[in-house]
Amino acid sequence: MEQNMIYDVSYMESLKRGFKQYATFSGRASRSEFWRFMVSREIIINSIGVLSIIVDMMFGETSDISDYTIWLFIIMHLIYLMPTIAYSSRRLHDIGRSGMTLFMVLIPIVGFFVLLSDFVKQGDVSSNAYGERISYVVVTPIEEEQIGIECTASLREDVTMGALAIILYIWVFVYDFIPAAWIAYNTSGLQ
């Protein structure tokens, strides 16, 4: 059995691959490659959200979400839509499922958790209907200089990036969406 020897990717390399292969729905994507793309995507989108909230605060608009913040979120999500769908489809292929499985997200609540459980599963260890097994070669700092690919992210970097994404989510939620919901609740007369 022949294996595809692909270098394990850093966060930046995963983002680059996502945009280079934004319309590639065939093939497979490993767990680490998929999750590094998703975490990088969320950090970028939420960082821009945090910056727009800070700008709102500087101009005294702390009571509600400004129009430009909403449009900024919409534009950022549209930019990442195709690469996310393509990566998700390739990730599902890695565990032997069809990309059409993504439609499960349309099932309220349950669909999201079923897809999430699929995304965290280990890929098939042999070839499947969607291609050969992907075998990653870890890039060390010495090899980084020789071949020009960024060093493979360590577990410490993975934990740090995940924690940063969670912190940004909480920050955006606490400082923008909760006050907006509270104001909407108070003005609706349901007190």
pLDDT above 60 (res 79): yes
Write the burial class of residue 33 (CB in 10 Å: 0-12 exposed, 13-18 middle, 19+ buried): buried
SS3 readout for the chain: CCCEEEECCCHHHHHHHHHHCCCCCCCCCCHHHHHHHHHHHHHHHHHHHHHHHHHHHHCCCCCCCCHHHHHHHHHHHHHHHHHHHHHHHHHHHHCCCCHHHHHHHHCCCHHHHHHHHHHCCCCCCCCECCECCEEEECCCHHHHHHHCCCCCCCHHHHHHHHHHHHHHHHHHHHHHHHHHHHHHHHHCCCC
Q: What is the mean pLDDT of residues 119-139?
A: 74
User: In the chain, what percentage of residues exceed pLDDT 90?
Assistant: 12
Most confident of 43-52, 97-106, 122-131, 133-142: 97-106
Q: Tens digits of per-residue pLDDT, 85-119?
A: 999 999 999 888 888 999 988 998 888 888 888 88
Q: What is the mean pLDDT of residues 38-45?
A: 89
State the pLDDT at residue 1: 35
What residue type is assigned to position 130 of the chain? Y
Task: Compute the distance between CA of residue 152 and CA of residue 7 in angstroms, rounded to an integer.
Answer: 8
Look at 107 and 1; give whichever has higher pLDDT: 107
> Bridge-partner residues for 6, per DSSP?
136
> Bridge-partner residues for 136, per DSSP?
6
Q: What pTM, to 2 d.p., does this model score?
A: 0.71
Mean pLDDT over all residues of the chain?
78
User: In the chain, what percentage of residues exceed pLDDT 70?
Assistant: 72
In the numeric block, which tokens belong to residue 158?
A: 């993975």
What are the phi and psi torsion angles at 131 (to 5°)? 140, 180
